[in-house]
Structures are given as C-alpha cells and as structure tokens.
Amino acid sequence: MNLRFRVVETTTIDVRTGNKERVADLTAHANDFVADVGGDGLLHVFVPHATAGIAVLETGSGSEEDLINALHELLPPDDRWRHAHGSRGHGRSHVMPALIPP
C-alpha cells in the first residue's frame, strides 16, 4: 500500500470593512497564498464571523454594487428583524450568512 500525505497550510488575513457593507476582493491574497505553498492543492476560504460571508463574484464590472443592492432588496435594513440588538436592521446581518455563507 502506498500512502500519500499532504500537509495543510493555513494563513490568516485581516480585512477591515468599517461600519459600511462592502465587497472586499480577496483574489490577490488567494493567489499569493497558493503561490507560496507550491501552486497546487485545494484552497478553502472561511470567515469566522456571524455577519460576514464569502461569495465568488466577478469584480470590477459593477457586480459589487449589484450584490449589495440585491442583498438590500432581499434583506431590508429596517426594523422587521426579531434579532434587534445593536443598530437598526442589525438582524438582517445575522440572516445574511444563510445566503452568503462564511
């Protein structure tokens, strides 16, 4: 029997988003990481937060604004949410990961 083992490489990056929703392009970070570990394998990206998510999206063509606008239409930032601590419409931020997973 021939067994092959692969070491799992990890890294952490900090993305500051401020207090306004925005799309952060992580492509350069992902490319750099893949190159640093040899350029072959499986890349897994995860954000450990209840109000953020990872989406695969074409950037630079207006898709960032389209995504934010679509999320505002699907999940309005108003007072309808039962999860209501914090700022107005905060509950929508906790529902959002069901649509854009962490």
Number of separate domains in the chain = 1
Comparing C-alpha atoms, which of 62, 65, 44, 63 is closest to residue 54? 44
Residue 49 within a domain? yes
User: Tell me, what's the pLDDT at 66?
Assistant: 95
Residue 12 within a domain? no
Residue 61 within a domain? yes
What is the tens place of the pLDDT at every residue in 54-81? Answer: 999 999 899 999 999 999 999 988 888 8
Residue 3 within a domain? no
Q: Please compute, for residue 98, the number of CA atoms within 13 A of its CA located in the half-sphere on the CB side.
A: 7
**Structural domain harbouring 77:** 44-98
User: Tell me, what's the pLDDT at 63?
Assistant: 93
Residue 75 within a domain? yes
Dihedral sign for Cα 62, 101, 50, 86, please: positive
Residue 34 within a domain? no
Are the beta carbons of 54 and 46 closer than 8 angstroms?
yes
What 8-state DSSP symbol labels residue 8?
P
d(CA 3, CA 10): 23
